């Protein structure tokens, strides 16, 4: 590819799951020497938290694992994202449905998948929404996101034959 591969993580609020995925994946991409070769963003299907930083519980969990997501700000998923990103990774089936609903011409379905389709232990294919639960839920989300992001990076690197340094 002569241009970056563009990856978008999508959840409901863009304050818990997808910003964590963005931060974790960004660190892995950088560590692999693929900065500027893979572009990364995240968005939420809902608008409630637009402009806000990630949930403080998600930021704390990430920080304990050495991942800083404090500079991220929530934005809403828009239909033009369907054309702008090569891989749109939904955190749960409801997000997947809401994203595909915006594909009015049925043109971009091949770009939209569940994030956990990359998970070596995919379970029910959903990253559970931790927002209304306790701290354990955020730790669980981190474990899922970390191993799935690792597999995603390996998969994209193989598919696009990306060489880091
Ligand atoms: P996220 O979590 O989709 O992982 O960012 C949520 C954040 C906020 C809400 C729901 C889920 N909410 O209803 O405000």
Q: Are 92 and 11 in contact (CB under 8 A)?
A: yes
Q: What's the 132 CA to ligand 1 centre distance in angstroms?
A: 8
Counting residues of the chain whose pLDDT is more than 70, the rounded percentage is 99
Nearest-atom index, ligand 1, CA of 14: 5
- 3-class state of residue 62 by DSSP: helix
- Shortest-distance atom of ligand 1 to CA 95: 3
CATH number, domain of 110, equals 3.40.50.2300
Asked if residue 19 is part of any domain, the answer here is yes
β-bridge mates for residue 89, sequence order:
9, 113
The beta strand positions in the chain, using DSSP E, are 5-11, 38-44, 87-90, 112-114
Q: How confident is the model at residue 163 (pLDDT cuts 50, 70, 90)?
A: confident
Annotated catalytic residue within 11, 55, 116, 119: 11
In this predicted structure, the answer to whether residue 2 has a pLDDT above a threshold of 90 is: no
Please tell me the predicted confidence (pLDDT) of residue 45. Answer: 98
Q: How far apart are CA 125 and CA 121, in angstroms?
A: 9
The predicted-structure confidence for 129-143, as pLDDT tens digits, reads as follows 999 999 999 999 999
| List 79, 103, 129, 147, catalytic entry | 129
In a domain, 20, yes or no: yes
Q: Which residue has the tokens 């994946």?
A: 25
Nearest ligand 1 atom, CA 18:
4
Tell me the pLDDT tens digit for each residue of 8-47.
999 999 999 999 999 999 999 999 999 999 999 999 999 9
Tell me the β-bridge partners of 11.
Answer: 44
Q: How confident is the model at residue 49 (pLDDT cuts 50, 70, 90)?
A: very high
Residue 122 lies in a domain: yes
How far does CA 25 lie from the centroid of its chain? Answer: 8
Q: Ligand 1 centroid vs 131 CA: distance in angstroms? A: 6
Asked whether residue 165 is assigned to any structural domain, the reply reads no
Q: Is residue 94 part of a domain?
A: yes
> 16, 17, 27, 41: which is the annotated catalytic residue?
17
Atom 10 of ligand 1, nearest CA residue: 13
Mark whether 129 is an active-site residue: yes
Which residue range is the domain that position 65 belongs to?
5-160
Q: Is 126 a residue whose pLDDT tops 60? A: yes
Residues belonging to the chain: 165
Instruction: Identify the CA nearest to 14 among candidates 38, 48, 37, 56.
Output: 48
User: What does the pLDDT look like over 63-103, one tens digit per residue?
Assistant: 999 999 999 999 999 999 999 999 999 999 999 999 999 99
Number of domains in the chain: 1
pLDDT of residue 1: 56
Q: Is 11 a catalytic residue?
A: yes
Q: Domain for residue 146, yes or no? A: yes
């Amino acid at each position: 590819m002569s241009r970056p591969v563009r990856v978008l993580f999508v959840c409901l609020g863009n304050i818990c799951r997808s910003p964590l995925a963005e931060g974790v994946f960004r660190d892995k991409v950088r560590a692999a020497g693929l900065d500027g070769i893979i572009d990364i963003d995240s968005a939420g299907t809902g608008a409630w938290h637009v402009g806000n930083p990630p949930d403080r519980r998600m930021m704390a969990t990430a920080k304990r694992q050495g991942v800083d997501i404090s500079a991220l700000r929530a934005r809403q998923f828009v239909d033009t994202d369907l054309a702008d990103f090569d891989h749109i990774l939904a955190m749960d089936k409801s997000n997947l449905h809401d994203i595909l609903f915006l594909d009015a011409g049925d043109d971009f379905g091949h770009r939209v998948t569940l994030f956990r389709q990359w998970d070596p232990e995919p379970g029910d294919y959903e990253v559970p929404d931790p927002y209304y639960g306790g701290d354990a839920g955020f730790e669980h989300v981190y474990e899922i996101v970390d191993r799935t992001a690792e597999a995603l990076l390996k998969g994209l690197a193989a598919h696009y034959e990306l060489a880091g340094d």
